[in-house]
Amino acid sequence: MIHKLLRYYFTLKELKFIQIRYQVWYRLKNKFFPTQYPDGIKAPKYQKIQLCSFPEQYVHYLGNNQFQFLNLDQKFKSKIDWNYSDYGKLWAYHLNYFDFLHQPEMDWETGKQLIDDFNELPHSRSEGLDPYPISLRTINWIKFLAVEDKYPIDVVNSIYAQYQVLTKKIEYHLLGNHLLENGFSLLFGAVFFQDKNLIKLARKILLAELEEQILEDGAHFELSPMYHLIILQRALDGYNLLRNNEHNLQDVEQKLKSVIQKMVNWLHTLMFGNGDIPMFNDSVSGQALSPTIIMEYAKQQGFTPSKISLSDSGYRKLESDNFELIADVGNIAPTYQPGHAHADALSYVMYYQGKPMIVDCGISTYEKNNQRRIERSTAFHNTVVIRDTNQSDIWGGFRVGKRAKTTINVDAENKILASNDGYARFGVIHKRSWETTNNTIKICDSIGKNKTGTSYIHFHPDTAINIKGTEIVLNDIVKILLEGKNIKLNMEDYQFCEGFNLRTTSKKICINFEDDLTCEFYE
């Protein structure tokens, strides 16, 4: 009971007052005065939208009422069940986003038919009328009309009606990327309808949240490279909209221009040489478009990437000839919305000759289950675990209780040293350094005298591993020389996440040690 109370205390104490206020208000409102879809409402006016070309999306609509999201297929018979729940809430949300309107070879007749199917009984679309799906869907519908240069009044009226719902459900109770997506949607509505209320809301949310959510070095503050890509694409869409249409949101346009440049620079700096991103926190392949596609979109919109010095995002990149390493020396962030954070302090990923070798394991689910708990745990990352526990109290699928704190002690071009207090309750302060010299990378761990821990190294499925005493040979080329006290090695299987609901068996090395451990990577 005391443990549960403490968990709630450490979880709730980080929330902003506005989150608590709106959590209470929305619960009461939904119970006594639920927001109704305004059937029969008509849009007062609209302007045709001009857009420069933008990237195509992944293929999710397979024809004949068959969809594939999160690597799970579903074929509906005569009518699409827009509230389909057998695959969980996230699958239903994806169905309602309508990203498939922008997949390759989508034609007007098919897209309009899918929109019409949704609009048959819009008030019954419980999942689709949540504010997040409304936000993404309205953007996608407006973009689809703009590309086809067709504006059926029934679709226009439906979009306007959905904005009447969204304005009453702005996600102030969640904040973070959800609120920012609300703002981007309102921006599209503001320009499309020239509606004063939508203009006011879009300006208020975007100016405040872009300032809050894009860090000084350009990272999105939830510190998921995947969400960084998603938000960057959305920002580029917004900038595309404002550059090519009449509006009185010049302050928002200038703000977008500034933050997009910072986001592009951060992405350019963090990317591996082959164009990959590290899959830190809630990141996985197959959701955001690839970094190279997003960077090409940015260049098309007039943004030229530049290398920067990484700072408040907490990520650092070291390079040594054929090695590229990205280290995580940041903290759980943002403090009031850590839903996409993992207990992964002082973890790292490494590429060799442009190919993944040591990887972040990624994620395969957002369901509140044991697999989600495993994928957010410290032991699922390339860091040190003490007494089989997590550094931070990850719980409930998207919650964090008491949080570990990381401090950067040395921040140089060829050496990073940081310490983490996640195991202070056991008398352990974990210190880790990464240092490059010539064509080697040396990782040193210290946990204190007479203390024992386990360092985990997770390998990409394509990596061949051969253990020779205290030396590990990878792909018959790269060697890891281990030095330390009472070292014991075990090689075990783990499930590498290649996408939602898609896992592949790979190998990890568990290194039990006492006091200190050095891992030197060389050819």
Q: What is the per-residue pLDDT across 24-38, written as a single tens digit (0 to 9) for each?
A: 999 999 999 999 999
Mean pLDDT value of segment 371-386: 98
Beta bridge partners of 350: 325, 358
Contacts of 356 (CB under 8 A, 6+ apart): 276, 349, 460, 462
Q: In whole angstroms, what is the distance from residue 129 CA to residue 165 CA? A: 8
Q: In whole angstroms, what is the distance from residue 427 CA to residue 448 CA? A: 8
Give pLDDT, residue 2. 79
Contacts of 308 (CB under 8 A, 6+ apart): 217, 218, 265, 266, 269
The full DSSP string for 418-446 is EEE-TTGGGT--EEEEEEEETTEEEEEEE
Give pLDDT, residue 1. 75
Q: In whole angstroms, what is the distance from residue 135 CA to residue 99 CA? A: 12
Q: In whole angstroms, what is the distance from residue 69 CA to residue 60 CA? A: 6
The full DSSP string for 96-114 is HH-GGGGSTT--HHHHHHH
Q: In whole angstroms, what is the distance from residue 297 CA to residue 239 CA? A: 11
Which tokens sit at 438? 């010539």
Q: In whole angstroms, what is the distance from residue 272 CA to residue 238 CA? A: 27
Which tokens sit at 79? 């009518």
Q: Are 303 and 232 in contact (CB under 8 A)?
A: no
Going from the C-alpha of 314 to that of each of 23, 223, 232, 327, 348, the distances in angstroms are 30, 8, 19, 8, 12
Q: What are phi and psi of 250, to 5 degrees?
A: -60, -35
Angle at 10 between CA 4 and CA 13, to 5 degrees: 125
Nearest to 201 by CA among 180, 187, 221: 187
Give pLDDT, residue 62. 98
Angle at 362 between CA 357 and CA 366, to 5 degrees: 170
Beta strand segments in 369-429, E:
384-385, 394-395, 399-400, 406-411, 415-420
Q: pTM to 2 decimals?
A: 0.97
Chain mean pLDDT for the chain: 97
CATH of domain 320-522: 2.70.98.70
Mean pLDDT value of segment 412-433: 97
pLDDT at 4 over 90: no
Contacts of 204 (CB under 8 A, 6+ apart): none
Q: Is there a cis peptide before residue 133, judged by omega within 30 degrees of 0?
A: no
Contacts of 27 (CB under 8 A, 6+ apart): none
The residue count for the chain: 523
pLDDT at 522 over 90: yes
H/E stretch holding 14: none
Which tokens sit at 194? 């020239």
Q: What proportion of the chain, given as a percentage, has pLDDT over 70? A: 100
Mean pLDDT value of segment 335-340: 96
Give pLDDT, residue 266. 98
Query: CB atoms < 10 A from the CB of 368, how many?
Result: 14
Comma-separated ranges of CATH 2.70.98.70 domains in the chain: 320-522
pLDDT at 3 over 90: no
Which tokens sit at 118? 């949704």
Q: Is 505 exposed, middle or buried (0-12, 13-18, 19+ CB in 10 A)?
A: exposed
Q: What proportion of the chain, given as a percentage, has pLDDT over 90? A: 97
pLDDT digits (tens, 9 = 90+) for 158-194: 999 999 999 999 999 999 999 999 999 999 999 999 9
Q: Are 80 and 126 in contact (CB under 8 A)?
A: no
Contacts of 196 (CB under 8 A, 6+ apart): none
Q: Can you say whether the dihedral through the CA atoms of 472, 506, 500, 398 is positive or negative? A: negative
Q: In whole angstroms, what is the distance from residue 395 CA to residue 360 CA? A: 20
